[in-house]
Amino acid sequence: MTRQGAALTSEAEFAQVTEPFRKELLAHCYRMLASVHEAEDVVQETYLRAWRSYDAFEGRSSVRVWLYRIATNACLTALEQRGRRALPSGLGAPASDLSPGTAPAGVEFVEPIAESLISDPASIVTTRESLRLALIAALQYLPAKQRAVLILREVLAFPAAEVATMLDTSVAAVKSTLQRARARLDSVTPAAGEVSEPTSAEAQALLADYITGFENSDTAALERALRADAAIEMVGTSTWFNGRVMCMRLLADAVGAPGYWRMIPFIANGQPAVATYGNSGDGYAPYGVAVLTPTPTGLTHIHVFSDPSLVTLFGFPPSV
């Protein structure tokens, strides 16, 4: 076989054994980094590093463990360069008026991620809970090494010995780090509520009210969807609103005339979501993404991400 033929064979073999793990690695990097943009970059870096060292891979661990080791350490390197990502509710008290908020200097925000990017239909139900926005935001309070250990052990169920190998540490260190991570996470995680599955009838009904409210300028539908203690967070700013009364003041101001908004439903972070378009005068242009938190008694949170790039990143058209 020629050298070129051998290289092509090796490349094909590498793709065959590593590509099946790409989506779950993206989910792992997203949990670590809370940014779909950063996670995609780190996954690309992971595959580049893996390809460069593939000839030296001796099979002492599975390909999956080997890739997770590379990806986790790439995430830890990325986290050395910045602080935690946040949601507005983690930055201060709720707003008392509708004055537009600003992005605090130096603060980076949690981003959403579309379910279609990270999960196959067969595994989707088991991954949803570990991707909810409240958990992703809470994970950001953990030091990077604690975050890695908690995700590898509790979410992905890797044995302690394999996690120790991935992080070049001891099993005892993994166990003690996990204990500290659990205690810290318990102290910053919001009280657990009953979040409805995004495909359930109740979640779909709340989603329909939300879309109807905006597309038809129907504030009654929006009010019907909200729980009394609902919150709306304007991610990218420090502004968030708490309670149905304040939320409805914001929504009534935002809905505009009937037909101004168009929304395409999908699932993000294990929750119902919409890709949002606003009337630009020449069709509808991307505005951003909203992620809803449904419960049996109504929506508890609406996270609004006013980032048009998320719409196309998640596979939706640049105009409708």
For position 42, what pLDDT does the model report?
Answer: 97
pLDDT, tens only, 193-239: 689 999 999 999 999 999 999 999 999 999 999 999 999 999 999 99
Residue 66 covered by a domain: yes
Is the distance from CB of 104 to CB of 91 less than 8 angstroms?
yes
Is the distance from CB of 102 to CB of 159 less than 8 angstroms?
no
For position 125, what pLDDT does the model report?
Answer: 65
Q: List b or e across 247-275, with b for residues whose CB sees 16 or more CB atoms inside 10 angstroms.
A: bbebbeeebeeeeebbbbebbbbbbbbbb
Least confident of 49-53, 61-65, 86-90, 120-124: 120-124
Residue 205 covered by a domain: yes
Return the CATH number at 206.
3.10.450.50
Domain final residue, candidates 19, 53, 82: 82
Residue 72 covered by a domain: yes
How is residue 196 annotated by DSSP?
P
What does the block give as tokens for 253? 């101001």
Domain count, the chain: 2
Domain final residue, candidates 82, 108, 138: 82
Rg of the Cα atoms in the chain: 21
Tell whether the model's pLDDT for residue 4 goes beyond 60.
no
Is the distance from CB of 31 to CB of 142 less than 8 angstroms?
no
For 113, 133, 141, 308, the CA distances from 110, given in Å and listed in that order, are 10, 8, 12, 15
Residue 180 covered by a domain: no
HSE-up of residue 110 (Cα within 13 Å, Cβ side):
30
pLDDT, tens only, 243-261: 999 999 999 999 999 999 9
pTM over 0.85: yes
Residue 297 covered by a domain: yes
Higher pLDDT, 128 or 21: 21
Residue 240 covered by a domain: yes
Work out the average pLDDT over 82-100: 90
Residue 112 covered by a domain: no
Residue 276 covered by a domain: yes
Work out the average pLDDT over 70-93: 93
Domain final residue, candidates 67, 82, 97: 82
Return the CATH number at 57.
1.10.1740.10
Model confidence at 82, in pLDDT bands (50, 70, 90)? Answer: confident
Find the length of the chain: 320
For position 11, what pLDDT does the model report?
Answer: 84
Instruction: Return mean pLDDT, the chain.
Output: 92
Work out the average pLDDT over 19-24: 94
For position 1, what pLDDT does the model report?
Answer: 42
pLDDT, tens only, 278-296: 998 889 999 999 999 999 9
Range of the domain at 10: 1-82
For position 2, what pLDDT does the model report?
Answer: 46
Model confidence at 84, in pLDDT bands (50, 70, 90)? Answer: confident
